[in-house]
Amino acid sequence: MLLNDEQQAIYDGAKGESLAKVMKTLVMYGDTFGATKMVPVESEYGHLVTSFGLSVIKPVYALMDKLLAAGAVSKQKFTVDPLPLDKNVPTNFLQDIMFKIMYGKQDFYNGQLQKLGILDEKSYTCTCYMEESGNAPKEGQVLSWAESSAVVYANSVLGARCNRNSGIIELFGSIVGFVPYFGLLTDEGRKAKWIIEVETTKKPEAQVLGSAIGMKVMEDVPYIKGLSKWIGTELNQASKDYLKDMGAATASNGAVGLYHVDGLTPEAVKLGEKLINSNAKVYKIDDAELDRVKNGYPIIWKDKDAKPKLAFIGCPHLSVDQLNDWTDKIVSRLAKNGKEKVAVSLVLTAAPKVLDKFKGSDNAKKLEKAGVVISYICPLMYMNNPLCGKMPVITNSNKLRTYTSAKYMTDEEILSAVAGEALA
């Protein structure tokens, strides 16, 4: 890889040993993927994936301390993934003890993040790109982000350019202000190797569609046709929310970092089918295919027919519109069943700044009355507590299903469960 004078000087140690090692790491990383040069990070803010102060990741804290001691902080402020703890989310005594042991370094790590450059104390969310959280990069900007669901959203819906970076690498890019130029940063790397033909008779569940696409194309770029019939040709809040949930499933059930939706996402609108490689493969998705995918998810509960104890909605975090929509659905479903409170503990998760906007609204009061908890927590980190992982938890998130023991249910099935209707 060719480095410019500034980059070479850092590499050679002009700014100290730690920064030289940061640059060396990025160069080796880029060389592995055939990068020819380093390019400047262009977005205003970064986004980090590692938000949890897990006691066991001591080597990470030691590394951060080394960076801080060398003055190697992020050149840009950044947002971070959601926090693992929130006392509002139901736990029992033993689970609480486990949380204290597991995330014993949380306060310490939050302090490190402050010194490294976190935007503010309410910047812990996976949906940093929502208006309220204020970290929405512009089309064409190069990013140094991690968090698979945020990267796939920024690339696909916002038209920014970011690779599927690992934790630590994204911080390194923000520290030196450069990232290696390869993969999804290049025009060639953004071309589709798959054509997805959506031929369903009803609007597909976003998270099952994303799961089907992810499992089929793995790390390749798909060009999705037939979806605008169901979600329109305008990037409004409803279609953005749909793409957020679909994308998170493509990125976790597979390793998709970018998708194009015909007639909807920015590059597809501009370039259309020119984005498709000439030898692209075709994957048709109809109702039966979605059923096949959904029925194939393993249920890893000990008692497969256990009554759910807890339901999570909001992985990735919900928008204000989604919070309002869920409130309407939950309240009317409870009323239909002659109930006031949910039959299964239900937690809706959203970014701290989204919750600030939602709290105090009539709908927030309705949720409280129905016994629904709203939280900024990361459901995945909650489920990583082995004592929580043993509980029968249901979710409409295919990401949460993939990484934990939570069982996937469609929105309709979740509603039925929390309203206390007999589960099919």
The contact set with other proteins (CB under 8 A) reads: 21, 24-25, 28-29, 32-33, 49-50, 54, 56-60, 62-63, 102, 146-148, 151, 163-169, 183, 219, 252, 255, 298, 300, 384, 386, 402-403
- Which residue, 54 or 83, has its beta carbon nearer to other proteins? 54
CB of 233 to other proteins, least distance (A): 31
Minimum Å gap between C-beta 50 and other proteins is 6
> What's the rounded Cα separation, in Å, for the pair 244 and 194?
20
* Residue 248, φ and ψ in degrees, nearest 5: -60, -35
CB of 384 to other proteins, least distance (A): 7
Pairing label, strands 260-261, 407-408? unpaired
Nearest to 239 by CA among 140, 134, 157, 147: 157
Shortest spacing between CB 63 and other proteins, in angstroms: 6
For the bound state, the minimum distance from the C-beta of residue 55 to other proteins, rounded and expressed in Å, comes to: 8
| Alpha-carbon distance values, 358 to 96, 143, 245 (Å) | 28, 29, 20
- Contact status, residue 405 vs residue 383, Cβ threshold 8 Å: yes
- Considering the complex, state which of residue 359 and residue 390 has its C-beta at the smaller distance from other proteins: 390
Closest to other proteins by CB, 172 vs 358, is 172
C-beta of 298 vs 360, nearer to other proteins:
298
Q: How far is the CB of 93 from other proteins (least distance, A)?
A: 20
Residue closer to other proteins by CB (options 132, 147) is: 147
Please give the Cα distance from 154 to 241 (Å, whole number): 13
**What is the nearest approach in angstroms of other proteins to the Cβ of residue 168?**
5
Minimal distance in Å, beta carbon 30 to other proteins?
A: 10
**For strand 38-40 and strand 178-180, is the pairing parallel, antiparallel, or unpaired?**
antiparallel
Q: How far is the CB of 414 from other proteins (least distance, A)?
A: 23
Q: Kindly give, in sequence order, each residue whose CB lies less than 8 Å from that of residue 243, ignoring residues fewer than 6 positions away.
A: 153, 156, 157, 206, 231, 261, 264, 265
CA dist 233 to 214, 225, 305, Å? Answer: 22, 12, 41
| Nearer of residues 117 and 180 to other proteins, judged by Cβ | 180
- In the complex with other proteins, the residue whose CB is nearer, 59 or 360, is 59
In the bound state with other proteins, the residue whose beta carbon lies nearer, of 148 and 396, is 148
Amino acid at 283: Y
How far apart, in Å, are the Cα atoms of 112 and each of 102, 116, 320? 18, 6, 30
**CA gap 77, 115 in Å, rounded:** 10
CA distance 205 to 245: 9
User: Nearer Cβ to other proteins, position 182 or 358?
Assistant: 182
Task: Show Cβ contacts of residue 415 under 8 Å, excluding neighbours closer than 6 positions.
Answer: 329, 330, 333
Q: Report the run of H or E that residue 277 belongs to, with start and end.
A: strand 276-285
